[in-house]
Amino acid sequence: MNFGDVIGQAFRLIFSLDPDLLEIIGRSFQVSLSSVVISAVVGAPLGAVIAMARFRGRGALVVVLNALMGLPPVVVGLLVYVMLSRAGPLGVFNLLFSPTAMIIAQTVLITPLIAALSRQIVEDVWQGYAEQFRSWGIRPIRAVPTVLWDARVGLMTVLLAGFGRAISEVGAVMIVGGNIDHLTRVMTTTIALETAKGDLDLAMALGLILLLMSLLVNALSHAVRRVAGPAASLARV
Partner 1 sequence: MRYAGWPGRRRVSRVFENEQRSLLSLDAVTLDAGGTRLIRPVTADIPLGARTVVLGPNGAGKSLLLRLCHGLITPTSGRLEWLPGTAKAPPRQAMVFDRPVLLYRSVAANIRYPLEATRVPRREHAERLREALVFAGLEQRARQFAPTLSAGQKQRLALARAWALRPDVLFLDEPTAHLDLAATRDIETMINAIHHKLAGVILTTHDLAQARRIADHVVFVHKGKVIEWGAADSFFDRPRAPEARRFLNGELFE
Residues that bind partner 1 (CB under 8 A): 125, 128-129, 131-132, 134-138, 142, 146, 150-151, 153, 230-232, 234-237
Q: Work out how close the CB of 141 gets to partner 1 at its nearest, in angstroms, rounded to a whole number.
A: 13
Side chain identity, residue 29: F
- Answer for the pair 194, 172: CB distance below 8 angstroms, yes or no: no
- Answer for the pair 178, 192: CB distance below 8 angstroms, yes or no: no
Q: Work out how close the CB of 10 gets to partner 1 at its nearest, in angstroms, rounded to a whole number.
A: 44
Q: Which of 159, 75, 76 is nearest to 117 (CA)?
A: 159
Nearer to partner 1, 93 or 149 (CB): 149
Q: Work out how close the CB of 56 gets to partner 1 at its nearest, in angstroms, rounded to a whole number.
A: 19
Nearer to partner 1, 18 or 150 (CB): 150
Q: Work out how close the CB of 135 gets to partner 1 at its nearest, in angstroms, rounded to a whole number.
A: 4
Q: Is 138 left (phi over 0), alpha (psi -120 to 50) or beta?
A: beta
CA 162/CA 112 separation, integer angstroms: 10
Q: Work out how close the CB of 152 gets to partner 1 at its nearest, in angstroms, rounded to a whole number.
A: 8
> If you write DSSP's letter for every residue of 224-237 in order, what string do you get?
HHHHHTT-GGG---
Distances (CA, A) of 208 to 49, 192, 204, 214: 39, 14, 6, 10
3-state secondary structure of 97: coil
Nearer to partner 1, 59 or 137 (CB): 137
Nearer to partner 1, 60 or 237 (CB): 237
Nearer to partner 1, 72 or 128 (CB): 128
